[in-house]
Amino acid sequence: MQEYHNGTQCLHAGYVPGNGEPRNIPIVQSTTFRYASSEAMGALFDLEAEGYFYTRLQNPTLDRVAAKICALEGGTAAMLTSSGQAANFFAIFNLCSAGDHVVASSAIYGGTFNLFSVTMRRMGIEFTFVSPDCSPEELEAAFQPNTKAVFGETIANPALIVLDFDKFASAAHAHGVPLIVDNTFATPINCRPFEFGADIVTHSTTKYMDGHANCVGGAIVDSGKFDWTKYPDKFPGLCTPDESYHGITYTQRFGLAGAFITKATAQLMRDFGAIPAPMNAYLLNVGLETLHLRMPRHCENALAVAKHVQNHPKIAWVNYPGLEGDKYHALAQKYLPHGTCGVVTFGVKGGRKAAETFMAGLKLASIATHVADAKTCVLHPASSTHRQLTEAELQAAGVSPDLIRLSVGIEDVEDILADLDQALALV
Ligand code: PLP
């Protein structure tokens, strides 16, 4: 499917029906798969044969949707997870054990920050958070001998900071570790991180990929480009035999193209079981089929909103990397020349109280713990998704107390602007 453009891949990649087979990806709603002999089943358990035996490990519906996301990102292997949280956890935990260390941008989604700084730290994995605007020297200083990965978001939620891929990828590679990038906000329609040096991509498919607020989900894609075998001491899980799979060495058996995802499936999905339901994968695929149409509309509407509020007398500030003059516009032009995302953040003059009045006054946009959805929605991160962060952490994440995150949908933009105006009039 590589020869097709991304729009075509949104519709066709991952599944080519044979003669008389279903036109849509079939929902294989079965936990188990029948085999004629125990021997055949045994070969699957030893990863010696390909096939399905239990949906916690693999399921045809999930695999086909994962293959579509893999093609969209230009990767070599991919897997679906039950949430974006699970995708980010698996991506890191597939490389790190207790005693290891990760360098991460501080401008990331609050849930990911908490996963890293609290839960994974409890598991013995340390994180050093660096400002996305740090100098190459400051980034360099964050590395330790036990560093196993670098993590960032293409467009940070909700700070809307565009990742400096060159800076982060070259630092990661100079230290012999992969760059893992959460590409949720950009989607492969607007940015393909593998083209800019990322090695692993993660997604909360809950957002634009699904696009209709139907189901929570995640995905991990491997570029197949990172050569784990050059650093066997750093990545023993990929380069030395796995006793829980009868001594398989993932890089030997599955090559660079398949080692990372096979290990994540065989070990992490087996043991943690964060698998989406086949029905959810099906719904995600319905969303993916129009991703290439929705993203440009999101960006067009968001740019119109950013321009509109920029000059509004009741607006204190606005952030949108697609907007000329925005601090991250140059990086957006470099890495996302066709559009960034549909999320715009701004502050209403008068601080928190004014923000509350404004948000309560919105009629079309609903207040929802959600973002990157076809319908316009709005949130105050400091009192919701980022509530657990301290003042200093909020600042590092780029979340000011007055920040309003408007996720601009694909409605007629005149209606979105009119809704904003009437709510601002109430402030
Ligand atoms: N990554 C980013 C950039 C997100 O915005 C989110 C959720 O908002 C997540 C990961 C977590 O994804 P999920 O809610 O699907 O677990």
Does 353 map to a domain?
Answer: yes
Specify the residue with its C-alpha closest to ligand 1, atom 15: 84
- Based on the fold, state whether residues 119 and 266 are members of the same structural domain: yes
Amino acid at 346: F
Please, which pLDDT band fits residue 376 given cuts at 50, 70 and 90? very high
User: In a mutational test of the pocket of ligand 1, which residue from 106, 119, 151, 157 has the highest number of ligand atoms less than 8 Å from its CB?
Assistant: 157
Distance (Å, whole) CA 275 – CA 57? 8
Are 370 and 269 part of one and the same domain? no
183 and 71, same domain (yes or no)? yes
**Helix extents (H) in 311-350:** 329-335
Query: CA triplet 288, 211, 368: central angle to 5 degrees?
Result: 165
Lowest mean pLDDT among 56-70, 218-232, 261-275, 383-397: 383-397
How far is CA 241 from each of CA 27, 148, 259, 313, rounded to the nearest angstrom? 35, 19, 12, 64
List pocket residues of ligand 1, CB cut-off 6 Å: 83-85, 88, 109, 111-112, 153, 157, 182, 184-185, 204, 206, 216, 218
With a CB cutoff of 8 Å and minimum separation 6, the contacts of 233 are: none
- Residues 269, 320 within the same domain: no
Query: 286, 318, 333: which is the final residue of a domain?
Result: 286
Looking at the fold, whether 216 and 347 belong to one and the same domain comes out as: no
Q: Is residue 346 part of a domain?
A: yes
Residue keyed to tokens 């590395």? 143
1 has a pLDDT exceeding 60: no
Q: Quote the mean pLDDT of the chain.
A: 95
The verdict on residue 51 lying in a domain is yes
Q: Which residues partner with 147 through β-bridges?
A: 101
Residue 341's CATH number: 3.90.1150.10
Residue owning the nearest CA to atom 11 of ligand 1: 84
CATH number at residue 196: 3.40.640.10
Which of 85, 180, 345 most suits a substitution to test ligand 1, by most atoms within 8 Å of the C-beta?
85
Q: Are residues 145 and 257 in the same domain?
A: yes
Average pLDDT over residues 131-155: 98
Q: Tell me: pLDDT of 246 over 90.
A: no
pLDDT at 401: 82
Residue 167 within any structural domain of the chain: yes
In the chain, the number of structural domains is: 2
| Rounded average pLDDT over 351-369 | 91
**Same structural domain, 203 and 304:** no
Q: Which residues contact 155 (CB under 8 A, 6 or more apart)?
A: 161, 162, 163, 185, 186, 321, 336, 340, 341, 343
Point out the domain boundary residue: 242, 264, 286: 286
- From residue 216, alpha-carbon distances to 113, 120, 134, 155, 243 in Å are 19, 21, 33, 20, 33
The pLDDT confidence band at residue 263, using thresholds 50, 70 and 90, is very high
Query: Cβ–Cβ contacts within 10 Å for residue 247, how many?
Result: 10
Q: List, for residues 33-48, the tens digit of each pLDDT value.
A: 999 899 988 888 888 8
Spatial distance between the Cα atoms of 2 and 24, rounded to a whole number of angstroms: 20
For residue 216, is pLDDT > 50? yes
Q: How many CB atoms lie within 10 A of CB 328?
A: 25
- Assess whether 125 and 190 both reside in one domain: yes
Q: Residue 72 falls within a domain, yes or no? A: yes
Domain check: are 12 and 137 in the same one?
Answer: yes
What integer pLDDT is reported at residue 48 of this predicted model?
83
For the stretch 85-101, pLDDT in tens is 999 999 999 999 999 99
Residue 298 CB burial class (10 angstroms; 0-12, 13-18, ≥19): buried
Residue 310's nearest CA partner among 326, 297, 288 is 326
The answer to whether residue 1 sits within a structural domain is: no
45 and 62, same domain (yes or no): yes
Cβ neighbours for 166, distance < 8 A, ≥ 6 positions apart: 196, 197
Residue 27's alpha-carbon distances to 52, 63, 279, 426, in angstroms, are 14, 11, 6, 48
Q: Are residues 66 and 210 in the same domain?
A: yes
Instruction: Answer yes or no: is pLDDT of 213 > 70.
Output: yes
In a domain, 241, yes or no: yes
Rounded to 10 degrees, what is the CA torsion of 287, 21, 17, 54?
70
pLDDT band at 137 (very low <50, low <70, confident <90, very high): very high
Instruction: Provide the percentage of residues in the chain whose pLDDT is more than 70.
Output: 100
- Tell me the chain's radius of gyration from C-alpha atoms: 22
Same domain? For 216 and 354 the reply is no
Model confidence over 178-205: pLDDT tens digits?
999 999 999 999 999 999 999 999 999 9
In this prediction, what percent of the chain has a pLDDT beyond 90?
87
Residue pointed to by tokens 């008389």: 20
pLDDT number for residue 2: 54
Atom of ligand 1 nearest to the CA of 88: 10
The range of the structural domain enclosing residue 346 comes to 294-424
Once rounded to an integer, what is the mean pLDDT over residues 146-158? 97
Domain boundary residue, one of 238, 258, 286: 286
Question: Ligand 1 centre from 109 Cα, in Å?
Answer: 7
Closest Cα to residue 155, out of 322, 35, 277? Answer: 322
Indicate whether 377 belongs to any domain.
yes
Q: E strands within 256-369?
A: 315-319, 343-348, 366-367
